[in-house]
Amino acid sequence: RTRMLDSAHNFALGFFRYPLEGQYQQEIMIGAKGINNTLAPYRFCPNNDIPNIGYRGAPLTDAWNAVYLRDTVPRLQRYVDGFELDVRDVYAMQELCAYETVALGYSKSCELFTEKGGKALIIRKKPLLYSLHAADLNQICLSGPE
Protein backbone atom coordinates (compact mmCIF):
# COMPACT_ATOMS: atom_id res chain seq x y z
CA ARG A 1 0.00 0.00 0.00
CA THR A 2 2.81 2.37 0.78
CA ARG A 3 4.29 1.66 -2.64
CA MET A 4 1.00 2.69 -4.29
CA LEU A 5 0.83 5.92 -2.30
CA ASP A 6 4.48 6.70 -3.04
CA SER A 7 3.93 5.97 -6.75
CA ALA A 8 0.97 8.35 -6.86
CA HIS A 9 2.97 11.03 -5.09
CA ASN A 10 5.94 10.57 -7.44
CA PHE A 11 3.62 10.70 -10.46
CA ALA A 12 2.25 14.00 -9.17
CA LEU A 13 5.78 15.35 -8.72
CA GLY A 14 6.60 14.45 -12.31
CA PHE A 15 3.33 15.82 -13.64
CA PHE A 16 2.98 19.05 -11.63
CA ARG A 17 6.63 19.60 -10.56
CA TYR A 18 7.92 20.50 -7.12
CA PRO A 19 6.52 21.99 -4.93
CA LEU A 20 3.12 20.30 -4.99
CA GLU A 21 1.46 22.69 -2.53
CA GLY A 22 -1.50 24.39 -4.14
CA GLN A 23 -1.32 22.17 -7.24
CA TYR A 24 -2.24 18.71 -6.06
CA GLN A 25 -4.29 16.98 -3.41
CA GLN A 26 -4.12 13.22 -3.12
CA GLU A 27 -7.29 11.47 -2.03
CA ILE A 28 -6.97 7.92 -0.80
CA MET A 29 -9.94 5.69 -1.57
CA ILE A 30 -10.51 1.98 -1.12
CA GLY A 31 -11.03 0.16 -4.41
CA ALA A 32 -12.28 -3.26 -3.32
CA LYS A 33 -15.24 -5.41 -4.29
CA GLY A 34 -18.32 -4.48 -2.30
CA ILE A 35 -17.03 -1.05 -1.21
CA ASN A 36 -18.74 1.94 -2.79
CA ASN A 37 -16.13 4.15 -4.46
CA THR A 38 -17.28 6.87 -6.84
CA LEU A 39 -14.11 6.46 -8.93
CA ALA A 40 -14.69 2.71 -9.29
CA PRO A 41 -18.44 2.13 -8.85
CA TYR A 42 -18.25 -1.10 -10.84
CA ARG A 43 -16.53 -2.77 -7.84
CA PHE A 44 -19.62 -2.09 -5.68
CA CYS A 45 -22.12 -3.51 -8.16
CA PRO A 46 -22.60 -7.28 -7.66
CA ASN A 47 -23.66 -7.73 -11.30
CA ASN A 48 -20.54 -6.07 -12.70
CA ASP A 49 -18.62 -9.30 -13.19
CA ILE A 50 -21.44 -10.98 -15.11
CA PRO A 51 -20.44 -10.27 -18.74
CA ASN A 52 -23.91 -9.99 -20.27
CA ILE A 53 -24.95 -7.54 -17.54
CA GLY A 54 -21.89 -5.62 -16.36
CA TYR A 55 -20.26 -5.27 -19.76
CA ARG A 56 -23.21 -5.58 -22.10
CA GLY A 57 -22.41 -2.30 -23.89
CA ALA A 58 -18.72 -3.06 -24.45
CA PRO A 59 -19.10 -4.75 -27.86
CA LEU A 60 -21.08 -1.79 -29.19
CA THR A 61 -18.70 0.85 -27.86
CA ASP A 62 -15.69 -1.14 -29.13
CA ALA A 63 -17.34 -1.29 -32.56
CA TRP A 64 -18.00 2.48 -32.53
CA ASN A 65 -14.40 3.16 -31.48
CA ALA A 66 -13.19 1.10 -34.44
CA VAL A 67 -15.37 3.18 -36.79
CA TYR A 68 -14.60 6.67 -35.58
CA LEU A 69 -10.89 6.07 -34.88
CA ARG A 70 -10.28 4.13 -38.11
CA ASP A 71 -8.39 7.00 -39.77
CA THR A 72 -6.86 8.37 -36.57
CA VAL A 73 -4.81 5.27 -35.69
CA PRO A 74 -2.70 5.27 -38.89
CA ARG A 75 -2.42 9.07 -38.82
CA LEU A 76 -0.90 8.99 -35.34
CA GLN A 77 1.14 5.84 -36.01
CA ARG A 78 3.31 7.85 -38.43
CA TYR A 79 4.75 9.68 -35.41
CA VAL A 80 5.44 6.59 -33.28
CA ASP A 81 8.41 4.27 -33.70
CA GLY A 82 8.83 0.98 -31.88
CA PHE A 83 5.23 0.60 -30.76
CA GLU A 84 2.18 -0.30 -32.80
CA LEU A 85 -0.87 1.74 -31.88
CA ASP A 86 -4.29 0.17 -31.93
CA VAL A 87 -7.79 1.55 -31.43
CA ARG A 88 -7.66 1.05 -27.66
CA ASP A 89 -4.38 2.97 -27.38
CA VAL A 90 -5.70 5.90 -29.38
CA TYR A 91 -8.98 5.92 -27.45
CA ALA A 92 -6.98 6.03 -24.19
CA MET A 93 -4.96 8.94 -25.59
CA GLN A 94 -8.18 10.77 -26.37
CA GLU A 95 -9.49 10.14 -22.87
CA LEU A 96 -6.20 11.35 -21.36
CA CYS A 97 -6.56 14.60 -23.29
CA ALA A 98 -9.81 15.28 -21.43
CA TYR A 99 -8.36 14.43 -18.01
CA GLU A 100 -5.28 16.56 -18.60
CA THR A 101 -7.48 19.48 -19.67
CA VAL A 102 -9.50 19.20 -16.46
CA ALA A 103 -6.33 18.98 -14.34
CA LEU A 104 -4.33 21.70 -16.08
CA GLY A 105 -6.87 23.76 -18.00
CA TYR A 106 -5.26 22.80 -21.31
CA SER A 107 -3.70 19.76 -22.95
CA LYS A 108 -1.22 19.98 -25.80
CA SER A 109 -2.07 16.35 -26.61
CA CYS A 110 -5.62 17.39 -27.55
CA GLU A 111 -4.13 18.89 -30.70
CA LEU A 112 -3.59 15.32 -31.92
CA PHE A 113 -7.33 14.98 -32.41
CA THR A 114 -9.74 16.68 -34.76
CA GLU A 115 -13.01 18.36 -33.92
CA LYS A 116 -14.76 15.52 -35.74
CA GLY A 117 -13.00 13.02 -33.45
CA GLY A 118 -14.08 14.99 -30.41
CA LYS A 119 -17.70 14.93 -31.53
CA ALA A 120 -17.43 11.18 -32.14
CA LEU A 121 -16.15 10.73 -28.58
CA ILE A 122 -19.18 12.63 -27.28
CA ILE A 123 -21.46 10.37 -29.32
CA ARG A 124 -19.69 7.38 -27.76
CA LYS A 125 -20.30 8.73 -24.24
CA LYS A 126 -23.91 9.85 -24.69
CA PRO A 127 -25.59 6.47 -24.12
CA LEU A 128 -23.64 6.11 -20.89
CA LEU A 129 -24.35 9.66 -19.75
CA TYR A 130 -27.87 10.29 -20.92
CA SER A 131 -29.81 7.12 -21.69
CA LEU A 132 -29.84 5.63 -18.21
CA HIS A 133 -31.44 7.29 -15.24
CA ALA A 134 -30.21 6.68 -11.71
CA ALA A 135 -33.12 4.32 -11.03
CA ASP A 136 -32.22 2.31 -14.15
CA LEU A 137 -28.59 2.07 -13.04
CA ASN A 138 -29.64 0.91 -9.59
CA GLN A 139 -31.93 -1.73 -11.12
CA ILE A 140 -29.17 -3.04 -13.40
CA CYS A 141 -26.62 -3.05 -10.59
CA LEU A 142 -28.75 -4.89 -8.05
CA SER A 143 -31.06 -7.04 -10.18
CA GLY A 144 -29.77 -7.01 -13.74
CA PRO A 145 -31.58 -5.75 -16.85
CA GLU A 146 -35.17 -6.85 -17.33
* Mean predicted confidence (pLDDT) in 60-73: 86
Instruction: Give me the DSSP letters along 44-81.
Output: T-TTTTSHHHHTTTHHHHHHHHHHHTTTHHHHHHTT--
Question: Residue 50: what pLDDT?
Answer: 78
- Among residues 29, 32, 55, which one has the least CA distance to residue 43? 32
Question: Residue 86: what pLDDT?
Answer: 96
As a whole number of angstroms, the distance between CA 57 and CA 127 comes to 9
Residue type, 23: Q
Q: What phi-psi label fits residue 34: left (phi over 0), alpha (psi between -120 and 50 degrees) or beta?
A: left
Q: Who wins on pLDDT, 135 or 10? A: 10
Q: Taking each helix axis as running N to C, give the angle between helix 58-68 and helix 115-130, from 0 to 180 degrees, rounded to the nearest 10.
A: 170
* Mean predicted confidence (pLDDT) in 78-97: 92
pLDDT at 64 over 70: yes
Digit-coded pLDDT (tens) for 88-136: 999 888 888 888 888 888 888 888 887 777 666 665 665 554 444 444 5
Question: Residue 131: what pLDDT?
Answer: 45
Asked if residues 134 and 142 have their Cβ atoms less than 8 Å apart, the reply is: no
C-alpha angle with apex 132: 130 to 133, nearest 5 degrees? 100
In whole angstroms, how far apart are CA 127 and each of 58, 77, 101, 121, 132? 12, 29, 23, 11, 7
Give whichever of 16-20, 34-38, 142-146 has the largest mean pLDDT. Answer: 16-20
Residues sharing a CB contact under 8 Å with residue 133, sequence separation 6 or more, in sequence order: none
